[in-house]
């Protein structure tokens, strides 16, 4: 599907038309997920990783009110430099950016919306949003989960950060019919660590097996996407204690400062990054690159089935 609001970069368009694999990438991870300048460097490295794996990257954002699938390096630099000043755009925000001609960084949810419009089926990121700890009171459930329930895009991630309640996140996804696949693991990865206390729904060991399941799901017109949880490579995984302490501290500060709504996740991401220092940032960068590689392989295998 194309819309009059969507600009697909020529390279991405050519790849889609000639049956080359394309991988969508989000932009909130650039603006709100990491500090400048590492965010820009990472975004470019991730694009390079996709290319090295024989696929075409399509970083997604909203610029000047246009939905963009495929950004220039200058556009990525602008998003990264503006950082948390850029509007964080989820599904609900898209029409405001378009009608008002504004710039927005897309979350997992809105990246899925735009990838779907462009006909891109596989998307790589770091971590997805989920059910927040204390959601029984706050009702804070990321719109990413509802998007996974309705939009046919596979999201390759390293699980979810332990700022979230991973058990409730899995329950929510189950209720909404979203499968969670572990790549070469039966445990849900927790972003900085390879395992959590929770099992995934299905373990699959090759990109081809993942592609076959996606193909079957969409061939039957079953609504929605899939979570492909890819553990951080062993050599970059972090000790759980260090992460847990930083997460507890960040959550406490968020509560004290009454941070809520869309500010919650960016606040927690930034505080965990500050409190754990360079180590967690290095791990974060490596896991996104790792996800870009797997997503590229899945995109390639999916095309082979069409």
Give the active site residues. 26, 161
Q: Single out the segment in contact with Mn ion by CB under 5 A; choices: 95-103, 119-127, 135-143, 296-304.
A: 135-143
Q: How far is the CB of 204 from ligand PSU (least distance, A)?
A: 23
Residues forming the site for ligand PSU (CB under 6 A) = 26, 28-29, 33, 90, 107-108, 126-127, 129, 142-144, 161, 191, 262, 265, 269
Provide the 3-class DSSP secondary structure of residue 305.
coil
Provide the 3-class DSSP secondary structure of residue 7.
strand
Q: How far is the CB of 246 from Mn ion (least distance, A)?
A: 20
- Is residue 234 within 8 A of residue 195, CB to CB? The reply is no
Nearer to ligand PSU, 61 or 200 (CB): 61
Closest residue to ligand PSU using C-beta atoms: 33
93 touching Mn ion, by CB under 5 A: no
Q: Single out the segment in contact with Mn ion by CB under 5 A; choices: 100-108, 137-145, 186-194, 204-212.
A: 137-145
Beta bridge partners of 69: 8, 60
Q: How far is the CB of 32 from ligand PSU (least distance, A)?
A: 6
Cβ-count burial of 197 within 10 angstroms (0-12 exposed, 13-18 middle, 19+ buried)? Answer: exposed
The Cα 230–Cα 41 span in angstroms is 22
Question: In this structure, what are the phi and psi dihedrals at residue 6, rounded to the nearest 5 degrees?
Answer: -105, 130
Q: What is the DSSP string of 104-159?
A: EEE-HHHHHHHHHHHT--EEE-S----BBTTHHHH--B-HHHHHHHHS--EEEESB
Nearer to Mn ion, 264 or 284 (CB): 264
HSE on the CB side for 39, CA within 13 Å?
Answer: 25
Q: Which does 144 bind (CB under 5 to 8 A by kind): ligand PSU, Mn ion, none?
A: ligand PSU
Nearer to ligand PSU, 39 or 296 (CB): 39
Token match 């899995």: residue? Answer: 170
- Is residue 173 within 8 A of residue 198, CB to CB? The reply is no
26 touching Mn ion, by CB under 5 A: no
- Is residue 68 within 8 A of residue 7, CB to CB? The reply is yes
140 touching Mn ion, by CB under 5 A: yes
Nearer to Mn ion, 26 or 140 (CB): 140
Nearer to ligand PSU, 161 or 217 (CB): 161
Q: How far is the CB of 281 from ligand PSU (least distance, A)?
A: 12
Q: How far is the CB of 143 from ligand PSU (least distance, A)?
A: 5
Residues that bind Mn ion (CB under 5 A): 140
């Amino acid at each position: 599907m194309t819309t009059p609001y969507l600009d697909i970069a020529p390279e991405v368009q050519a790849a889609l038309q000639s049956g080359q694999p394309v991988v969508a990438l989000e932009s909130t991870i650039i603006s709100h997920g990491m500090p400048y300048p590492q965010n820009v460097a990472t975004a470019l490295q991730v694009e390079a990783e996709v290319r090295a794996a024989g696929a075409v990257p399509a970083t997604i954002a909203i610029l000047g009110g246009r939905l963009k699938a495929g950004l220039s390096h200058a556009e990525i630099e602008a998003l990264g430099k503006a950082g948390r000043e850029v509007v964080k755009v989820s599904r609900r925000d898209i029409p405001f950016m378009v009608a008002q001609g504004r710039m927005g960084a897309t979350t997992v949810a809105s990246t899925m919306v735009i990838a779907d419009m462009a006909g891109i089926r596989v998307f790589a990121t770091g971590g997805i949003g989920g059910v927040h700890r204390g959601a029984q009171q706050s009702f804070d459930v990321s719109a990413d989960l509802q998007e996974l329930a309705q939009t046919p895009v596979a999201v390759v991630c390293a699980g979810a950060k332990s700022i979230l309640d991973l058990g409730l996140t899995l329950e929510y996804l189950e209720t909404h019919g979203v499968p969670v696949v572990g790549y070469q693991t039966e445990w849900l990865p927790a972003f900085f660590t390879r395992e959590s206390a929770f099992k995934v729904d299905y373990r699959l060991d090759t990109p081809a097996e993942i592609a076959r399941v996606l193909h079957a799901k969409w061939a039957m017109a079953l609504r929605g996407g899939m979570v492909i949880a890819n553990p951080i490579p062993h050599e970059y995984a972090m000790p759980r204690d260090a992460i847990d302490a930083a997460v507890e501290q960040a959550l406490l500060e968020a509560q004290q400062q009454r941070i809520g709504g869309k500010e919650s996740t960016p606040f927690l991401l930034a505080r965990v990054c500050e409190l754990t220092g360079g180590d967690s940032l290095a791990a974060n960068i490596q896991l996104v690159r790792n996800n870009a590689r797997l997503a590229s392989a899945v995109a390639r295998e999916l095309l082979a089935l069409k």
